[in-house]
A and B are shown apart, each in its own frame.
Chain A
Amino acid sequence: MTRFLRRYWALTRKELHQLRRAPKLVFQLTIPPTLLLVMWGYALNPEVKNLRTAVMDADRTPASREILAMLTELEAFQVKANYLSTTDLEKAFEDRSIDVGILVPPGFARDLQAGRPAELQVIIDGVVANSAAVAGGYLLRAVADHNEKLLRRRLPVTLEAGLPRLGRSEIRAIAMFNPGMVFSWFYVTAIMGVVLFVDGSLVASAIAVREKEVGTIEQLLMSPAQSLEILLAKTTPVLSLLVLGLMVSTYTAHLVFGLPLRGSFGLYLLAGVVAGFAAMGLGILLATYSSNQQQAQLLTFFINPFVMLCSGAFARIENMPRIFQWASMIDPLRYLVEIIRGLTVKGADLELLWRPMGALTLLTIALYGLSVWRFRRQLN
């Protein structure tokens, strides 16, 4: 064991020495990820503003004007046009000059007066499905609020009519851990994990292939070191940079987006180290299948979207088809992101996080082990 450590340390010192001569790598692994994080935190915001809206009031009563005024006051809908016929409205849709049409049909006020359900017709361009769903949600919520107001106005009438007096049930929704519903926390935590993985695999595959290209691999082969030692030593400096990058981006996310770190910092570091090994294991593994730099880069770039998108970092895993759900089970990034979210936003501890922690560790051992085995086989 001591011999192992001595040799490991000697090799690591050689690598660290090389690293000092490559400040570009240090820069590359800390600064761009942080900038990326800030940009994504802002850019990936699903809120919807200023949809081009056309209104058509075919009822022209105080009731119809009231509901239209209420809806067009929302930030999501910006009134661009006022139409008098449905053909004009439909034509505007076909020309793509509007995204939303709100239509109050004739008889709206009469229906309301008579206590019949009064219908409000809304057309939303559904191609950008996310934004359409969010906008639809805003609209339904506003209509629900409006209904509440109408009901309260109507209540004395209802009582006179002697209808059953059941109280109102209400639901109070509380977003736990994130009462302000900050969207960026979800994406920022995703990017932190993704960057660690993408950078780790790219850099490790570059290092492993370079050995092959430059031919220093023969030298290493002659040394008494085992391939595990060589790889560990080769990857240690990169690992420390990856973890450093993770810390820098976490702190930046805290400063810019107010992301909390409610859980244990030690556990956070540990998860970063373990996941760093998994990422580098993946990189080395892909490098053993490539014969030069571009091939390794292309291959890593082909595999990384799988790792990224199956992990559930950007959308719930349960929304995916089954086959992608199964794939996510062997995706180390899935567990890393779960741990990051658990420790930052949710303030969970090891007792609650042992499942993802254990899964991440197992996958790391498997991935790194496989890459060491492939690397050794290649040397022989």
Chain B
Amino acid sequence: MQRILAQSGKEWKQFRRDPLSMWLAVLMPVVMVLLFGYTLSLDPDGLRLVIRDLDNSALSRRYVETYIGAADFQLIAWDSELAVEQALETGAAEMVLLIPPHFGRDLLAGRPAQAQALIDGADANTALILRQTASALNASFLARENPALAPPVRARIRYWYNPGLSDRRFFGTGALGMVLIFFPALLGAIAASREHELGTVIQAYASTLTPAEWVIGTALPYVAVGCVELVCGYLSGAVAFGYDLPPDPTAFLAASVGYIAIGVLFGMWVGHATRSQSISIQAVQLGVFLLSLLLSGFLAPLENIPKAIRWLSYFIPARYYVEVVRDALLRQGGWRTNGLDVVILLGLAMLGFWGVWSQVRRMRFPD
């Protein structure tokens, strides 16, 4: 044990000598959680609406007012000479509501009348939301003007665990998953490849420490840094998005430590395999950050990824960890609900340990 700690102490001193890494280690989780949480929201706000009312009757004005009164819309222009296509092309408008002539007269005569919503389709996400909002507003106009046409069935949707349907909370937890694997992996990769570049790896070849002691001793300080990052990331999420630890946080904590260890060990493995700092940094960016971002189900449902690459996601630790974080911090879940994910993560950590251990063992001089 003492020998392990001695190796850890040496590693920690090396890490401390680089103040930039120290700062980034603390800042990265805070910044990423807030940045991802705040900037990726698809919940629309201030949708730019332009109205062209070619009818200008009492009914058409009431129709238009239904839209203006809706919370999500921000009225940009009403009945101006603004060219419709152009307003959509420059992005000045996101939706143009076009009321045809005789709209009111047709309705009063009992005939159906059709208004048009021209939506900027370049952003299909927002376009989809606009289409749904428009049809809901149309229905509410109808129900108010003619109760006989009120919708017979009303669906009341409740969103459990997230009643306000805030996607900020959701993206923030995913960002925690990204940071906690990326930064530890980076530190592990730099530490291992630096040994090769500086030639100090010779000490590892000839050390009296067993390979297992050497690997644990080297990884330990970086896992500790990862745990500090976890605390920073969690606290910023708790303040900004109201994350809450579950009553029994042991599953979450076990998963976090295992996940951080996977990152460090994978980084060390890459560092020993490439023996070059800049190549291993690139490998970590590609192999850890991008793949985790893509294949963890953090940004979009995994179901939509073509089968040919979807199976890869089973090998991405972030897939399991993001699940655990969401379940623990947003639904207050524990072992009962995400025990399997935690076990898989711990298993992957063991696998990572085995990988680095056999690498180091092969590097050793024969006794």
Binding site for B on A (CB under 8 A): 32, 36, 39-40, 42-50, 67, 93-96, 112, 115, 117-134, 136-137, 139-141, 143-144, 146-147, 150-151, 154, 158, 161, 163-179, 181-183, 185-186, 189, 206, 290, 293-295, 297-299, 301-302, 305-306, 309-310, 314-316, 318-321, 324, 338, 341-342, 345-348, 352-353, 355
The chain A residue sitting closest to B39, CB to CB, is A309
Quote the shortest CB–CB distance from B213 to chain A (angstroms): 27
Q: Are A294 and B120 in contact (CB under 8 A)?
A: no
Cβ of B110 and Cβ of A166 under 8 Å apart? yes
Rounded to whole angstroms, the CA-CA distance of A121 and B42 in the bound complex is 25
Q: How far is the CA of A47 from the CA of B301 in the complex (A)?
A: 8
From B125, which residue of chain A is reached at the shortest CB distance? Answer: A46
Residues of B within 8 A of A131 (CB): 301
0 or 1 for each of B278-294: is its CB under 8 Å from A? (1 = yes): 10010001100010001
Nearest 8 Cβ contacts at the A-B interface: A178-B121, A126-B159, A175-B121, A126-B162, A129-B167, A45-B304, A309-B39, A171-B138
Give the contacts of B294-311 with A (CB-CB under 8 A): 294-295, 299-301, 303-306, 309
Chain A proximity of B200: nearest CB distance (Å):
16
Closest to A189 in B: B122
Interface residue B202 (Cβ < 8 Å from any Cβ of A): no
Contact (Cβ within 8 A) B125 A318: no
Q: A67: nearest residue on chain B (CB-CB)?
A: B153
Which of A112, A141, A310 is in CB contact (< 8 Å) with B152?
A112
B17 at the interface (CB under 8 A from A): no
Given A117-B150, A120-B155: A129 in contact with B124 (beta carbons within 8 A): no
Q: Range of interface residues on chain B?
A: 35 or more
In whole angstroms, what is the CA distance A85 to B149 when docked? 33
Q: Which residues of A contact B190 (CB under 8 A)?
A: 294
CB contact between A206 and one of B148, B156, B278 (< 8 Å): that residue: B278
CB pairs A–B below 8 angstroms (23 shown): A122-B156, A123-B159, A126-B159, A133-B42, A134-B128, A151-B151, A163-B146, A164-B148, A166-B110, A170-B114, A172-B117, A173-B119, A174-B116, A175-B120, A183-B124, A189-B122, A309-B35, A316-B42, A316-B44, A319-B41, A347-B89, A348-B89, A352-B90
The reply to whether A167 and B112 contact each other, CB–CB distance below 8 Å, is yes
* Known A-B contacts A118-B154, A129-B165, A166-B145; A294 and B278 likewise in contact (beta carbons under 8 Å): yes
Q: CB-CB contacts of B323-341 with A at 8 A, as 1s and 0s?
A: 0001100110100111000
Asked if B135 and A173 sit within 8 Å, CB to CB, the answer is yes
Chain B residues within CB distance 8 Å of chain A? 18, 20-21, 24, 27-28, 31-32, 35-36, 38-47, 63, 85-86, 88-91, 103, 106-132, 134-139, 141-142, 145-163, 165-167, 169-170, 186, 190, 277-278, 281, 285-286, 290, 294-295, 299-301, 303-306, 309, 326-327, 330-331, 333, 336-338
Report chain B residues within 8 Å CB of A139.
Answer: 155, 157
Give the number of A-B contacts (CB < 8 Å).
Answer: 329
Query: Which residue of B has the minimal Cβ distance to A348?
Result: B89
- Inter-chain CA distance A171–B115, complex, in Å, is 5
Return B223 CB to nearest CB of chain A, in Å: 19
| Residues of chain B with a CB closer than 8 A to A165's CB | 110
Residues from chain B with Cβ under 8 Å of A318 in the complex: 44-47
**With A124-B160, A126-B160 given, is the CB distance from A42 to B306 under 8 Å?**
yes
A residues near B150, Cβ cutoff 8 Å: 117
Cα distance, A189 to B127, chains bound together (Å): 16
Chain B residues contacting A181 (CB-CB under 8 Å) are 121, 124, 127-128
Residue of B nearest to A158 (CB): B148
Main secondary structure, interface of B, reads: helix
Point out the residues of chain A lying under 8 angstroms from B127, CB to CB.
175, 178, 181
Complex CA–CA separation, A368 to B147 (angstroms):
64
User: How many angstroms from the CA of A67 to the CA of B285 in the assembled complex?
Assistant: 49
Which of A117, A137, A154, A320 has a CB less than 8 Å from the CB of B132? A137
Our pick among A47, A178, A314 for the contact of B122 (Cβ within 8 Å) is: A178
CB nearest to A28 among chain B residues:
B282
Bound complex: CA A122 to CA B303 (Å): 23
Having A151-B149, A164-B148, one finds 4 other A-B pairs with CB under 8 Å, namely A123-B158, A167-B108, A305-B36, A352-B86
A316 with B123, Cβ < 8 A, contacts A118-B154, A134-B128, A299-B20 known: yes
Q: Which residue of the partner chain, among A122, A150, A176, contacts B120 with CB atoms under 8 Å?
A: A176
How many Å lie between the Cα of A318 and that of B35 in the bound state? 15
Distance of B17 from chain A, by nearest CB (Å): 12
Partner of B108, one of A93, A120, A166, A306: A166
Report yes or no: B165 in contact with A179, Cβ–Cβ below 8 A.
no
B-chain residues with CB within 8 Å of residue A151 when the two chains form the complex = 149, 151-152
Q: How far is the CA of A217 from the CA of B311 in the complex (A)?
A: 48
Task: Indicate which residue in A40, A167, A206 contacts B113 across the interface (CB closer than 8 Å).
Answer: A167
Q: Are A133 and B123 in contact (CB under 8 A)?
A: no
Give A62 Cβ to nearest chain B Cβ, in Å.
14
A residues near B163, Cβ cutoff 8 Å: 126
Q: How far apart sit A143 and B153, CA to CA, in the bound complex (Å)? A: 7
Best-surrounded residue of B41, B89, B151 (most CB of chain A within 10 A):
B89
Which residues of the partner chain A approach B281 to less than 8 Å between Cβ atoms? 294, 297-298
Residues of A within 8 A of B39 (CB): 309-310, 314-315, 320, 324
Asked if B165 contacts A133 (CB within 8 A), the reply is: yes
Q: Cβ of B148 and Cβ of A129 under 8 Å apart?
A: no
Does the CB pair B151–A147 fall under 8 Å?
yes
Closest residue of chain A to B32 (Cβ to Cβ) is A305
Q: Name the distance in Å between B192's Cβ and chain A's nearest Cβ.
A: 13
Contacts of B109 in A (CB 8 A): 167
List the B side residues contacting A299 at CB < 8 Å: 20
Question: Which of chain A's residues has its CB closest to B304's CB?
Answer: A45
Shortest distance between the CB of A151 and any CB in chain B (Å)? 6
A293 touches B278 (CB 8 A): yes
Interface pair A125/B43, CB less than 8 Å apart = no
Contact between chains at A50 and B160 (CB < 8 Å): no
Q: Tell which of B132, B153, B286, B326 touches A128, judged by Cβ atoms closer than 8 Å.
A: B326
A285 to B86, CA, bound (A): 38
Q: Could you say which residues of chain B place their CB within 8 Å of the CB of A341? A: 122
Set A40, A158, A173, A183: member contacting B117, Cβ < 8 A: A173
Q: Which of chain A's residues have a CB closer than 8 A to the CB of B186?
A: 298
How far is A31 from B47 in the complex, measured between Cα atoms in Å?
37
Q: Which of A36, A45, A171, A175 touches B300 (beta carbons < 8 Å)?
A: A45
Bound-state CA distance A305–B38 (Å) is: 12
Asked if B152 and A154 sit within 8 Å, CB to CB, the answer is yes
Chain B residues closer than 8 Å to A47, beta-carbon distance: 301, 304
- Alpha-carbon distance A144/B131, docked complex (angstroms): 13
- Whether A320 contacts B119 in the complex (CB less than 8 A), given A129-B165, A140-B132, comes out as no
What is the CB-to-nearest-CB distance from B182 to chain A, in angstroms, rounded to a whole number?
9
